[in-house]
Structure 1
Amino acid sequence: MKRACLFLFCIITFFNARALDYVSDTAAVPGAATLHRTMKKVTDVIVHDIYSPPVASRIYAYVSIAGYEAAISGNNQYRSFAGRLHGLSSLPKPTAGLAYSNELAAVHAMLLVAKALVISEQQVQDFHNALLQTYSSNMRKDVYEHALTYGRQVADAVLAWAAKDNYKETRSYAKYAVMEDDGSWKPTPPAYIKAIEPHWGKMRTFLVDSAQQFKPLPALPFSADSTSAFYKEARAVYTAGVQLDEEQKAIASFWDCNPFKMNVNGHVMYATKKISPGGHWINITAVACNKVGYSFVQSAEAYACVAITLADAFISCWDEKYRSRVIRPETYINQYIDEAWMPLLQTPPFPEYTSGHSVVSAACAVVLTNMFGDNFAYTDSTETEFDLAPRSFTSFKQAAKEAAISRFYGGIHYMPAINNGYDEGEKIGHFIIAAIRTGK
């Protein structure tokens, strides 16, 4: 009897010890909630550091991929991106026979990658330190240390891969020369900011074959003739702009997502920081994960899929922007229709065609619908911290359509850029879901 009790005690002790190998869903270490807090911190730093939408998408991609890879280690239900994303030939594996916390390894890898890619390293480090303290207080020492070692190995591998994506090279490419012809993009008031990321189309893609794979229909030929198709599109923007109702204004403001809005008050000019379009869709991903109760690894998969989609969508869109170099409505309308007209939203500092919001939103909506299903109703509170009311949607597609048309209401895009951009994004999204194949 004593021998049987001793055997039972050993079995219970063994399984209790094994339970400590993984981070439990306790109040101190809340599983998926930790992943979402980590991604929110990345977003907050991106907003603080004022990264442009394309650069923000790059940060999200590498951070999310690092987190996903560490999270799925040893889980045969998920596939690694190694050998499937361009230039990513291999990733480190954890040492066999050692106990790990995949969750700790994942958030550790994410924050190490984030710290390497942002300006405000200390903000990331402070958050990181607090998070590690929570884990170390609730985890066996060897499990904790093994997780940190493996997380750093994954982060180092992801950063080495990122270093070869042509980002550093594009920093030294020739500055964009503003074209003097009437139909090309020109910097706009109030700050007349120079062209943002004119060489982004030269970045290495993640899954799509090239920046030109989903090249949209050609932009309308420029014309100042009042009978031309181009003039009519500009006139439509102008007419809509002077007749906006309160709902249309609310839609435009909700999806503005301008990382660096310049405000003018007399002789004083100051900036307002806001979330990027990519950051908005990353937050929508968090909303969806929380609504259905996704686990840590499921949420890591969702972030990675959406972030890769964002990155490739921005590369595709920016490639077209600096190929067609289409003049913005504000410039055209002021010159040919009404010199006093101003758009509701501040005109972004890059060419008009295609609409980045349309491309990115359509692509993300396709990928999220594939993960969570059609007719997925949710309330988007992303903009509440920027003093805008939440908006509710019956599907990701409805949200994407609203994000796209918001740019027309805002007076910063013609309809062809919105419609053709949306088509471009949908094609990218469908390609992504066919190619990404994270599950087995």
Structure 2
Amino acid sequence: MTEKMKKFNFLMLVVAAFCFVGCDTGKKEVSIDADVYHQSMDQLSEVIVHDIFSPPIASRIYAYPSVAMYEILALDNPQYKSLAGQLNELEPIPKPTEEVSYELAALEAFLKLGTTLIFSEDKMDTYKEELYAKLGEGVNSKYFEASVAYGDEVAQHILKWADGDMYKQTRTFPKFTVIDDPARWQPTPPGYFEAIEPHWNQIRPFVLDSANQFTPERPTQFDMDKNSQFYKETMEVYNTGVNLTEEQKEIASFWDCNPYVMNVTGHVMAATKKITPGGHWIGIVKIACKKADADPMKTAQTYALTSVALADGFISCWDEKFRSNLIRPETVINRYIDEEWLPLLQTPPFPEYTSGHSVISNAAATVLTSIYGDNFSFRDDTEEKYGLSVRSFDSFTQASEEAAISRLYGGIHYMPAIANGVTQGRKLGEFVVNKLEFTNESLSKK
């Protein structure tokens, strides 16, 4: 054998030995684009609908996984700042001790937290198993496993943070006591459900200093004298309801977002599950990100900012609902004006003032505008899967204003709850935008 052939054979042995040690590994890239994050958020929304979480709880479920996803990606992107020290009581996440895919770790943290916070864990597990089978094709197994392990580590860090928000404690608090007072909230038909989350103002806010930071003006005082302001506001709801146009009916239905609607026909009762108000705006986040061709980092930023604004919006709104404890239009109209009158939408089970949709929609619209601008037109197909048509908007603000007025068309709110709810939501959204810094320059200054 010639010296040249010996050198060649030796080189082949070195290559073979390298492959024997490292070929288990394959490539060290995991192909994850923004669409994977959108699909995973869609999956979480589907499970939230399936498990029938109330709107406040759903907002909490969206927020923690979104923050975890953002924090991991920001750790690998020096242009973005951590939210640790900005969100209440959030400590910096641990750093990886070995080489990982931050994109995969962010996905894992999102899915791990999402699975922990819902009931139907099998649905999330099945989704992840199928997704990871595709993402892991040809990828270094140790690299893939290390990335997933790091995502789990961060998920545990965020879960520990979540455990301190008083959610678990409020599960043991007493139910809301209905007062025999004509001005106070009473359970409404057809289900006559008890009030949802009367202690939600005890939940630790994400950005707000306190639940009552943006307490709105006092609602109109209950007074059924025909010359009173309250009577006029009640009649406005009644007259709007009996004279609805087809467009108004479509708007009310589009923004209904009631997670559990009871349909009663004679003695037959069936239930319809739908997306929550917060879930609708999470759907709008996806629409905006895709139209703007946002990369994974920008996508995570948008989900994180919107989800914490939604979560704090519910805390602020629920604080007022159970302080003012105002009776719903349906109860007043049936008792004093027309016992046969029914609102177009089913009245949700909690006090009237302020309008939750008005608060959270305007909070979400404010933060989305801070990212994508005032004149961001879009087609909202979020409700299409629930049999509703697509609606088009010239801006997030326009969409939020339509969401707010939809509650009058639906017959479930007086106008002060809507108008003051809009103001409450916008002030809250502006506070979130001005307080949080995602990059070296505050979003509010961009």
Work out the CA distance in 2 between the residues paired with 1:124 and 1:71.
22
1:126-275 correspondence runs (5 A): 126-275=126-275
Q: Deviations over 1:357-401 (max 9, x none)?
A: 000011111100000011100000001100000000000000000
* SS in structure 2 at match of 1:382: coil
Matched to 1:296, the amino acid is P
Would the aligned equivalents of 1:22 and 1:103 in 2 still touch at CA under 8 Å?
no
Matched to 1:36, the amino acid is H
Q: Deviations over 1:9-58 (max 9, x none)?
A: xxxxxxxxx9954433xxxx5x1110000000000000000000000000
User: Bigger CA drift: 64-73 or 196-205?
Assistant: 64-73
How far is the alpha carbon of 1:234 from its aligned partner?
0.4
Matched to 2:381, the amino acid is S
1:380 is aligned to 380
1:11 is aligned to none
- What is the number of equivalent residue pairs in this alignment? 418
* SS in structure 2 at match of 1:270: strand
Q: Which has the larger radius of gyration?
A: 2
1:287 is aligned to 287
TM-score (norm 2): 0.92
Matched to 1:113, the amino acid is L
Matched to 1:99, the amino acid is E
* SS in structure 1 at match of 2:270: strand
1:24-423 correspondence runs (5 A): 24=31, 29=32, 31-95=33-97, 98-423=98-423
Distance 1:249 1:178, change over 3 A: same
2:4 is aligned to none
Q: CA RMSD in A?
A: 1.5
Work out the CA distance in 1 between the residues paired with 2:396 and 2:332.
33
Determine if the alignment matches structure 1 residue 23 to structure 2 residue 25: no
**Unaligned stretches of 5+ residues in structure 1:** 1-5, 7-17
User: Bigger CA drift: 336-345 or 81-90?
Assistant: 81-90
**Unaligned stretches of 5+ residues in structure 2:** 1-10, 12-24, 441-446
Work out the CA distance in 2 between the residues paired with 1:131 and 1:296.
17
Would the aligned equivalents of 2:26 and 2:139 in 1 still touch at CA under 8 Å?
no
Would the aligned equivalents of 2:82 and 2:92 in 1 still touch at CA under 8 Å?
no
Would the aligned equivalents of 2:105 and 2:151 in 1 still touch at CA under 8 Å?
yes
Work out the CA distance in 1 between the residues paired with 2:138 and 2:277.
37
User: Any runs of at least 4 consecutive aligned residues in structure 1 with deviations exceeding 3 A, and if so which?
Assistant: 18-22
TM-score (norm 1): 0.93
Would the aligned equivalents of 2:26 and 2:140 in 1 still touch at CA under 8 Å?
no
Q: Deviations over 1:141-169 (max 9, x none)?
A: 23212211110011000111101100011
Matched to 2:44, the amino acid is V
Work out the CA distance in 1 between the residues paired with 2:320 and 2:55.
15
Work out the CA distance in 1 between the residues paired with 2:26 and 2:362.
42
Would the aligned equivalents of 2:198 and 2:318 in 1 still touch at CA under 8 Å?
yes
Distance 1:321 1:138, change over 3 A: farther
* SS in structure 1 at match of 2:383: helix
Q: Deviations over 1:180-217 (max 9, x none)?
A: 10000000000101100000011100001000100000
Work out the CA distance in 1 between the residues paired with 2:379 and 2:411.
26
How far is the alpha carbon of 1:100 from its aligned partner?
1.6
Work out the CA distance in 2 between the residues paired with 1:330 and 1:125.
42
* SS in structure 2 at match of 1:82: coil
Work out the CA distance in 2 between the residues paired with 1:119 and 1:348.
22
Matched to 2:267, the amino acid is H
Would the aligned equivalents of 2:258 and 2:276 in 1 still touch at CA under 8 Å?
yes
Matched to 1:282, the amino acid is I
Residue identity over aligned pairs, in percent, reads: 53
How far is the alpha carbon of 1:73 from its aligned partner?
2.1
User: Bigger CA drift: 275-284 or 332-341?
Assistant: 332-341
User: Bigger CA drift: 71-80 or 116-125?
Assistant: 71-80
